[in-house]
């Protein structure tokens, strides 16, 4: 697969919208390894771009473009000469979108439509858009806006002969900006009790590196109209907090307080709904949900397997597995001196 990815990316001009974000930053790093002709980064905040320019000062193939996906003319300008687009620019915080719904509409929906139109007009070969489990049976504005983003990207009536549109959907990226891991770290460093929304609330979990690999995999494997979902484990937020606190302090009974669910939150997330299962294809590690047009000819998963793919039912990460993920991602380091981890690492 790495060879195929290499062939697909080598010598190409690429654009990463939201290239200064958690995912954007990680994929830019990875893309640079595949000998691209150029990597353009498109986002609004000049400070984040300035810092990234500094970090990547050795990388002459990076280009930085300030602008907003809400602005069609600017999106059109940055799209010129681009072969592959990774669309990661988004408003992704559930409570923020809940309190400013139309801002979510403007970035996640209007921005997606601008990007689609500009890509087709510029003759871009491939557009990969990043979606979220919150877009499935959405109960909050962020999820609703991302569900519409998926429809805009994969709408068969928008199909273009020259541009392939693929979506990738995944759950919580451990440690991404604004996620629960950096929040919990702050509490632990201050010695304060961890705020737990609900002890039984579960979330799918993957690392940034896994998210990047999934997107590159779908870039090569995906056909126009495909929505790819990776199978992934889950955990309760409480267990995640406990393991992080243990890893950072050695305390197995770190204090917590129950604060209740926030506006727009679900108890469990779903990556493939029951209705989507009717037309999905199950592979070893992924589900493929074809566009409506293609699914006319695809039988989908066979009888009796129409159950949704929910964070409540999948493999729940053991404490040891979580500890390993947090260490691999650098959230727990040797200087945290967690003490003996025999119990957790065999959990």
Ligand X SMILES: NC(=O)c1ccc[n+]([C@@H]2O[C@H](COP(=O)([O-])OP(=O)(O)OC[C@H]3O[C@@H](n4cnc5c(N)ncnc54)[C@H](OP(=O)(O)O)[C@@H]3O)[C@@H](O)[C@H]2O)c1
Q: For ligand X, which is the closer residue by CB, 173 or 332? A: 173
DSSP run (H or E) holding 249 = helix 237-249
- Report the SS3 class of residue 77: helix
Pick from 43, 140, 163, 202 the residue near ligand X by CB under 6 A: 43
Based on the shown chain and the rule CB under 6 A, indicate whether residue 40 belongs to the binding site for ligand X.
no
Based on the shown chain and the rule CB under 6 A, indicate whether residue 173 belongs to the binding site for ligand X.
yes
- What mask of x and - would describe binding to ligand X in positions 107 to 126, judged by CB under 6 A? x---x---------------
Catalytic residue among 12, 92, 134, 341: 134
Q: For ligand X, which is the closer residue by CB, 72 or 306? A: 72
Please work out, in degrees rounded to the nearest 5, the angle formed at the alpha carbon of residue 67 by the alpha carbons of 131 and 141: 35
Neighbours of 232 (CB within 10 A): 22
CB of 53 to ligand X, least distance (A): 13
Judged by CB under 6 A, the stretch of 120-128, 176-184, 225-233, 327-335 that binds ligand X is 176-184
Q: Which of 256, 262, 259 is nearest to 241 (CA)?
A: 256
Contact 15, 77 (CB under 8 A): no
DSSP run (H or E) holding 113 = helix 111-122
Pick from 12, 14, 22, 36 the residue near ligand X by CB under 6 A: 22
Pick from 5, 9, 12, 18 the residue near ligand X by CB under 6 A: 18
Judged by CB under 6 A, the stretch of 6-14, 42-50, 258-266, 281-289 that binds ligand X is 42-50
Q: Which of 112, 148, 125, 167 is nearest to 290 (CA)?
A: 167
**Joined tokens for residue 199:** 């002890």
Task: Say how far residue 336 (Cα) sits from the centre of its chain.
Answer: 28
CB of 216 to ligand X, least distance (A): 14
Based on the shown chain and the rule CB under 6 A, indicate whether residue 44 belongs to the binding site for ligand X.
yes
Distance CA 248, CA 332 (A): 6
Based on the shown chain and the rule CB under 6 A, indicate whether residue 76 belongs to the binding site for ligand X.
no
Pick from 5, 9, 20, 36 the residue near ligand X by CB under 6 A: 20
Based on the shown chain and the rule CB under 6 A, indicate whether residue 179 belongs to the binding site for ligand X.
yes
Q: For ligand X, which is the closer residue by CB, 96 or 316? A: 96
Residues with Cβ within 8 Å of residue 50, at least 6 apart in sequence: none
Residues with Cβ within 8 Å of residue 104, at least 6 apart in sequence: 91, 97, 141, 142, 144, 145
CB of 337 to ligand X, least distance (A): 29
Can 134 be counted among the known catalytic residues?
yes
Size of the chain, expressed as the number of residues it contains: 347
Contact 132, 97 (CB under 8 A): no
CB of 190 to ligand X, least distance (A): 23
Neighbours of 242 (CB within 10 A): 22
CB of 25 to ligand X, least distance (A): 8
| Residues 46-75, interacting with ligand X (CB under 6 A) | 48, 68-70
Distance CA 199, CA 237 (A): 7
- Report the SS3 class of residue 39: strand
- Taking the C-alpha atoms of 128, 131, 137 and 142 in order, what is their torsion angle to the nearest 10 degrees? -130
Number of residues that bind ligand X (CB under 6 A): 30
Based on the shown chain and the rule CB under 6 A, indicate whether residue 188 belongs to the binding site for ligand X.
no
CB of 263 to ligand X, least distance (A): 18
Based on the shown chain and the rule CB under 6 A, indicate whether residue 154 belongs to the binding site for ligand X.
no
CB of 170 to ligand X, least distance (A): 5
Residues interacting with ligand X, by CB under 6 A?
Answer: 17-18, 20-24, 42-45, 48, 68-70, 88-90, 92, 107, 111, 130, 132, 146, 170, 172-173, 176-177, 179
**Residues tagged active-site:** 134
């Amino acid at each position: 697969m790495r060879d195929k990815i290499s062939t697909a990316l080598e010598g190409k001009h690429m654009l990463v919208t939201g290239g200064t974000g958690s995912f954007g930053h990680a994929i830019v790093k990875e893309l640079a390894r595949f000998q691209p002709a150029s990597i353009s980064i498109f986002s609004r905040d000049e400070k984040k771009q300035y810092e990234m320019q500094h970090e990547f000062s050795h990388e002459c193939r990076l280009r930085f473009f300030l602008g907003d996906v809400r602005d069609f003319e600017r999106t059109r300008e940055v799209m010129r000469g681009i072969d592959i687009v990774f669309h990661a620019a988004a408003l992704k915080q559930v409570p923020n979108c809940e309190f400013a719904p139309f801002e979510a509409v403007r970035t996640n929906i209007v921005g997606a439509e601008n990007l689609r139109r500009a890509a087709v007009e510029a003759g871009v070969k491939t557009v990969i858009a990043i979606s979220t489990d919150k877009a499935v049976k959405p109960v909050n504005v962020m999820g609703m806006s991302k569900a519409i983003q998926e429809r805009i990207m994969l709408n068969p009536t928008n199909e273009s002969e020259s541009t392939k549109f693929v979506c990738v959907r995944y759950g919580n990226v451990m440690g991404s900006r604004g996620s629960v891991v950096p929040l919990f770290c702050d509490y632990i460093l201050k010695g304060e009790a961890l705020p737990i929304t609900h002890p039984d609330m579960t979330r799918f979990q993957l690392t940034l590196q896994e998210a990047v690999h999934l997107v590159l995999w779908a870039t090569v494997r995906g056909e126009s109209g495909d929505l790819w979902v990776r199978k992934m484990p889950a955990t309760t937020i409480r267990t995640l907090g406990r393991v992080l606190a243990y890893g950072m302090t050695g305390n197995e009974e770190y204090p917590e307080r129950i604060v209740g669910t926030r506006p727009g939150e679900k108890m469990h997330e779903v990556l493939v709904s029951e209705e989507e299962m009717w037309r999905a294809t199950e592979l070893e590690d992924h589900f493929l949900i074809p566009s409506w047009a293609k699914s006319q000819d695809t039988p989908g998963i066979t009888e009796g397997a129409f159950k949704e793919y929910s964070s409540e039912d999948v493999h729940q990460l053991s404490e040891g597995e979580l500890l390993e993920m947090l260490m691999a991602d650098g959230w727990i380091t040797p200087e945290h001196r967690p003490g003996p981890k025999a119990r957790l690492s065999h959990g």
